Amino acid sequence: MIVGVVKESFPGERRVALVPDLVPMLAKRGYEVVIQAGAGTEAGFLDAAYEAKGAQVLAGRDDVFAKAEILVHVRMGGANPERGADDLPRYREGQVVIGAADPLSHPEAIRALAERGVHAFGLELIPRTTRAQAMDILSSMATVAGYRAVLWAADRLPKFFPMFMTAAGTVAPAKVFIVGAGVAGLQAIATAKRLGAVVSAYDVRPAVKEEVESLGGKFVEMELETAEGEGGYAKAMDEAFYERQREMMLKVVAESDVVITTAAIPGRKAPILVTAEMVAGMAPGSVIVDLAAERGGNCELTRVDEVVESGGVTILGPSNVPSSLPYHASQMVSRNAVNFLLNMLSKPENPRDRDHVAVFDLEQEDDIMAGTWMTKGGEVVHEAVLEKLGATTEGQA
């Protein structure tokens, strides 16, 4: 099977779906790799590096689409709403297409892929299982976002993060409050602690208290009902819940120098957790970094990809945060994609069968493939996407 990688067309996207060092891993298992010239340049991976590892560099995008049987994207379909449709005429029936697709926010883009007759797999839909962790792009990219958010906050804050004891007196450490202790939040906690800040965190899932404390953060207790959903994710709650939550957070936010929010639910608008009233209560010079800006923002005053100043408080609403660290973000997302590709190879009935020759197999029963498969035989087949389209598998058939 020939795996193709093209330059990402999403505006401002600097990542690449496959890094040179992983080409031999695919070649060893029978895959060939073709890549569009310049696809990895913005992430720091030159064409010569791909050729040195055994990939074939092709001049144009059309050349890659024409030759590849499997296409791996960082962003495709709904994850590339402005330019993703440009590639639709290039897909051909039976091709396998893999990447982030934002299917629950843009289900119509998945229907468009189905109409091209491709087998499309959305990597955001990876099951939350131990076996699937190595393919989980959401966790990988959340790690990048949590780290970067703290650095942006430290750059904007007119204070030191750590405590300093100097001849001019003692400088108190910055107080950082993390809202949401998922992967991004936990990475933000760890990074802020490494920079010497005093860190506290809140999450609607009490079960994460131990993880917060293990990283040196203080878990903020609030008397609210548990909001843990399937797979350990926080679930969406009603507005009454968020109103009570905001009331309890008011004092904590006011005492913080930095607030980093991370609460986003796939396919839904992000809940408002930090109100304009809370922002008004913060000291001038304070910083808010809203990692949910792409989904509407957790802060009432956030504007996506803008810096908002309100009463001396700086509010950052960045989008596509992983692209700001394209080298390592590309390494991580391509490792996830390669692990997914290797999982698509046939598996021996007996794990001890050393003579088994693995081949690309779409017909095998596999929970990871089944959980991420969005389009097949010209139809949308993923139940959650069908629900967003207002259909059911039975109705479509």
pLDDT tens track for 200-213: 999 988 889 999 99
Helix H or strand E segment including 254: helix 239-254
What proportion of the chain, given as a percentage, has pLDDT over 70? 94
Q: What is the rounded average pLDDT of the residues 183-194?
A: 98
Catalytic residues, by residue number, are 128, 133, 136, 139, 233
pLDDT value of position 391: 56
**The pTM is what?**
0.90
Domain residue extents for the chain: 2-136+325-396, 144-323
pLDDT value of position 235: 54
User: Taking the C-alpha atoms of 205, 207, 212 and 218 in order, what is their torsion angle to the nearest 10 degrees?
Assistant: 80
Q: What angle do CA 295, 207, 184 make, to 5 degrees?
A: 35
**pLDDT tens per residue, range 86-124:** 999 999 999 999 999 999 999 999 999 999 999 999 999
Is the predicted pLDDT of residue 51 greater than 70, yes or no?
yes
How far separated are the first and last CA of the chain, in Å rounded? Answer: 30
Instruction: Supply 241's token pair.
Output: 């819940």
Is the predicted pLDDT of residue 198 greater than 80, yes or no?
yes
Domains 2-136+325-396 and 144-323 share a fold: yes
Q: What is the rounded average pLDDT of the residues 248-260?
A: 94
- Residue 230 — pLDDT band, cuts 50, 70, 90? low
Instruction: Decide yes or no: CATH 3.30.420.40 for domain 2-136+325-396.
Output: no
Q: Are 208 and 189 in contact (CB under 8 A)?
A: no
Q: Within 10 Å of residue 250's Cβ, how many Cβ atoms?
A: 14
What are the φ and ψ backbone dihedral angles of 4, each rounded to 5 degrees? -115, 140
Class of 144-323 in CATH: alpha beta
Sign of CA dihedral 246, 317, 39, 373: positive
